[in-house]
Amino acid sequence: MGFFDKIKQGLKKTRESISHSINTMLHSFTKIDEELFEELEELLIMGDVGMLTAERICDELRKKVKERGITDPNKIMDLLEEVVSELVGGDTDMHLDTKPSVIMVIGVNGVGKTTTIGKLAANFKAEGKSVMLGAADTFRAAAIEQLQVWADRAGVPMIKHAEGADPAAVVYDTLAAAKARGTDVVICDTAGRLHNKKNLMDELGKISRTIDKVLPDCSREVLLVLDATTGQNAVNQAREFQKAAGITGIILTKLDGTSKGGVVLPIMEELHLPVKFVGVGEQIDDLQPFNSRDFARALFTREKTEN
């Protein structure tokens, strides 16, 4: 199953929530007027798109309607797909040009971080890259064991210390091992919770400085894992981490289990953070690279094409 089919299937609940409501609303209008845009904006906000992003989408729609002289409300859906595709476009590629390159994975507990790391490792291995995991979430009980399960499942080596060890020391040893073995990609797990938020952010900063010391010129991605089912709370989490961790991209998990997939839009529009991967299922190959055009098309697929 390709990305479009997976994302279409994964967005089913979101599509039923947002697109069905918009379609129904559009059919109640015989012309495009300000009342239509006001109702559309309200429906987008209710679909977890957020107020600022909903306003931006409607402003872009107004421009396109005026520029192209469109008068039929039924044409709005195609325009909406176009606007959303442009909105979530941009650089969603992974930039891993050095050997080794480093991916630091961050996020609060419960978002599917450990599972995501295992799936990422499997993705890179399937591309022919060598991968090594670093178990730097030493704070949470069983985090190391859980990551080991996914390392074994993906068939990649993992560097670990005992529970409660210094996370930066784990990262140091992981990077040293990766250099020695000529590994392509290092993926480091990190704690999702410490005694308080400041401790967590300080720990992430310490890990980042360790990477600077061991591999000063390496390609680095700092990926924040967010749970799509939390809707606007995911945007707030991203805001907090963005202040402290130099995030380069988002991984949005559990997209298939929620009607709140519209949260992709404010993350990219308001926070200017690219969504690099989306989780659309529980299988090891269900973490998919994000494609803006396919996302928009899957989100606004017409009801008649649904089977």
Each residue of 186-245: pLDDT tens digit?
999 998 775 567 788 888 889 999 999 999 999 999 999 998 888 778 888 888 888 777
Cβ within 8 Å of residue 81, ≥6 positions away: 296, 297, 299, 300
Cβ within 8 Å of residue 100, ≥6 positions away: 132, 175, 178, 179, 183, 184, 185, 186, 215, 218
In sequence order, what are the beta bridge partners of 132? Answer: 186
- Whether 173 and 159 have beta carbons less than 8 Å apart is answered as yes
The full 3-state SS of 142-206, as one line of letters, equals CHHHHHHHHHHHHCCCEECCCCCCCHHHHHHHHHHHHHHHCCCEEEEECCCCCCCHHHHHHHHHH
Per-residue pLDDT band at 259 (split at 50, 70, 90): low
**pLDDT of 305 higher than 80:** no
pTM score of the predicted model: 0.85
In this prediction, residue 192 carries a pLDDT of 79
Strand pairing class (131-135; 158-159)? parallel
SS3 11: coil
Q: What is the mean pLDDT of residues 44-65?
A: 91
Max alpha carbon distance in the chain (Å)? Answer: 68
Whole-number Å distance between alpha carbons of 58 and 299: 17
Which of 5-9, 53-57, 164-168 is the least confident region?
A: 5-9
